[in-house]
Structure 1
Amino acid sequence: MLFSIYFTSLAKLSGFFVFVLLLFISITAFSHDEIEKTKPDLMLLKTYDSNIDVNGWVMSEKLDGVRAYWNGTHLISRQGNVFNAPAWFTEGFPKFELDGELWLGRNQFESTVSIVNKKTPDQRWKKITYHVFEVPNQAGGLLDRLGILTKFLRLQNNTFLRVIDQRKITSNKMLDIELHRVLALGGEGLVVRDPKTTYQTGRLTSALKVKLKQDAECIVSGYINGKGKYQGVVGALRCDLIPAQVDRLFPNLKQGKGVTIKIGSGLTDKQRKMPPKMGATITFQYIGLTKNGLPRFPVFLRERIVTPSKINRPGNY
């Protein structure tokens, strides 16, 4: 009888502990989901036009990395998903917010993504550095805001945290020389910013990207069979331009049912055999517009990476 009462009480107690454990897991999971759904309000770039006077502005290299926002606790993607960075990577980060790029090096975007998109981070994060181009929600102009991080790093040096160098522009010729220097090194282009502007978000006229080539995104809607040496594989992708980008980048096009372009250049042999899937979003480069307003000489650049943590094409600010 006593044994029966004892085991009944033990079962009830065990059930209570199981209930508490499940409740804790549920709350923890809920909290993590809430963090992932917090989409940061970011600064975005407009495109530089040679008619714009940028004398007195500052310039820096536009890094082709993974855009990441540090909210004081977590590194977050543009879509609001938390990157699974190792604790030792962010251990020395400040409590104030930062905006920048997770970067491995020039022309290593795909390798960068393969590191930062893993659910379980590994030692390859030691090759990554976080390059900061903005210190959000701080007073003063751009250099004042970046100076806050610079002072922080003087007191607490960090191997993985760096401030992107900003150089003052004294002439359009200087800008052109720097652009070609960066391109010769395999860089993507430049970013020019008005240093007097206070912190703002959205697409700004005071923050511009400078490239010889422009880029845009489209959605794969079909395939065109290859000919000649590409017989039996994909010759080109059919791709639907994204309406929101058409309004901004290709304003002379008629909206109607949408605009489809063909992109064959830039695809590797492997990509022609295993092309991006239908519905995938890809980034392409182009040089100006045709007389009809279409992107001229579109070239496939990359597929937007969608990972289990749903990080976006990163770097595209």
Structure 2
Amino acid sequence: MPNPPPALRQHLASMPGLSRRASLSALLLSPWLLPRVGAQVVQPVDSGGHSAVQLAMPWPAGRSPQGFGVSEKFDGVRAVWDGRVLRFRSGRVIAAPTWFLSALPRVALDGELWIGRGAFDRLSGVVRQAEPDDEAWRAVKYLVFDAPGHAAPFAQRMAYVQSTLAQAQQPWLMPVLQREVKDARALQTLLHDTVRQGGEGLMLHRSDASWQPGRTDALFKFKPELDEEGLVVGHQPGKGRLLGMTGALLLQMPSGQRFALGTGLSDALRRDPPPVGSWVTYRYRDRTPSGLPRFASFLRVREAE
């Protein structure tokens, strides 16, 4: 086996079993595997101008997590790097400082720009500026959880990401570490602990799955409450105390179904609601037999990208 550099050896020693074994596998197979792992098999931006990304499905309650890499779900801003340009999920270019971009490796990466737990609004204000604030960007981390379009199972893609980022030697550029969880009970405990400490939830990647864009059963999210985005197609007038304000947003779901969302709206948003054509994120517990969300509550407006 080739002797890894000191920074990579230290990085491997800190990893949970799944990540460490995957990284060692990649090194053992080098140089035969890694050139193939790095081969692009899809375009990083689709025909509609959107970044080609994997999208998660809700984790089925009680399912065993064996065969999956489990990681924290970070409440950040999705950022896709194609080796030259950093983009939002929509495909719009992110105006990051030159020092940030020049330090990124010339390979495709997918991850989250992140500052810390509970700091989404602060992060959003930093990364969505047309002219980057150099000092504000110093607090931003790029947490990488995949290598888009690389022809290898997820465990090997993450080994490739880990070794690549270790070579970059940037403290703000790091892989999202994966762990093995033995059963559904242990997964539930991990979710509880993560949320109690301020985390949003968990992500589960099927370790043997190839990368593919779009919604896939190779990637799941596990949260105390589910969330989804809806298109604002109208405003319903308020009554009583809310007279003269917006009582509810009329949303269209990805399925095409529509429902009224009023819970969670502040008075400020009711006076100046998200316009028709904008997207908002809402939380919900489960679905009705017809597919509508139960106990839906407004979370945030999705910023234009």
Distance in structure 1 (CA, Å) of the matches to 2:120 and 2:162: 26
Q: Quote how far apart the aligned CAs of 1:181 are.
A: 1.2
- 2:223 pairs with 1:225: no
1:259 Cα offset (Å)? 4.1
d(CA) in 1 for partners of 2:265, 2:119: 17
Distance 1:224 1:188 in 2: 33
* Alignment gaps of 5+ in structure 1: 1-33, 247-257, 312-317
Of residues 190-199 and 295-304 in structure 1, the stretch that sits farther from structure 2 once superposed is 190-199
Partner of 1:102: 113
Look up the match of 1:175.
187
Gap runs ≥5 in structure 2? 1-44
Aligned to 1:154: 166
Q: 1:40 to 1:261 in 2, by over 3 A?
A: closer
Structure 1 residues 184 and 155: alpha-carbon distance in aligned structure 2, compared to 1, 3 A threshold: same
Classify 1:139/1:268 alpha carbon distance in 2 versus 1 (closer, same or farther; 3 Å).
Answer: same
Contact 1:84 1:120 in 2 (8 A): yes
Aligned to 2:39: none
Q: What is the rounded CA distance, in whole Å, between the counterparts of 2:128 and 2:167 in structure 1?
A: 31
Aligned to 2:277: 279
How many residues are aligned here?
259
**Residues 150, 179 of structure 1: CA spacing in aligned structure 2 closer, same or farther, 3 A cutoff?**
same
**Which has the greater radius of gyration?**
1
Q: Which residue of 2 aligns with 1:29?
A: none
Cα drift, residue 201 of structure 1: 2.2
Check whether the contact 1:215–1:286 (CA below 8 A) recurs between aligned residues.
Answer: yes
Is 1:238 matched with 2:246? no
Shift of 1:303: 0.7
Using the TM superposition, give the Cα deviation of residue 37 of structure 1 relative to its aligned residue in structure 2, in angstroms: 7.5
2:226 aligned with 1:214, yes or no? yes
Aligned to 1:126: 138
Runs of 4+ in 1 over 6 A off after TM superposition: 34-37
Distance 1:288 1:118 in 2: 35
Instruction: Output the amino acid matched with 1:64.
Output: D
Query: Counterparts of 1:56 and 1:83 in 2: how far apart (Å)?
Result: 34
Q: Distance in 2 between matches of 1:45 and 1:188?
A: 15
Percent same amino acid among aligned pairs? 32
CA contact (8 A) 2:237 2:243 kept: no
TM-score by length of 1: 0.75
**How many angstroms apart in 1 are the aligned matches of 2:220 and 2:302?**
22
Residue in 2 that maps onto 1:294: 292
Partner SS, residue 168 of structure 1: coil
Shift of 1:117: 1.1
Which residue of the partner structure matches residue 262 of structure 2? 264
Give deviations 1:230-254, integer Å, cap 9, x for gaps: 45543x3231323xx22xxxxxxxx
Give the Cα–Cα distance (whole angstroms) in 2 for the partners of residues 114 and 219 of structure 1: 22
| 3-state secondary structure, aligned to 2:121 | helix
2:64 counterpart of 1:53: yes
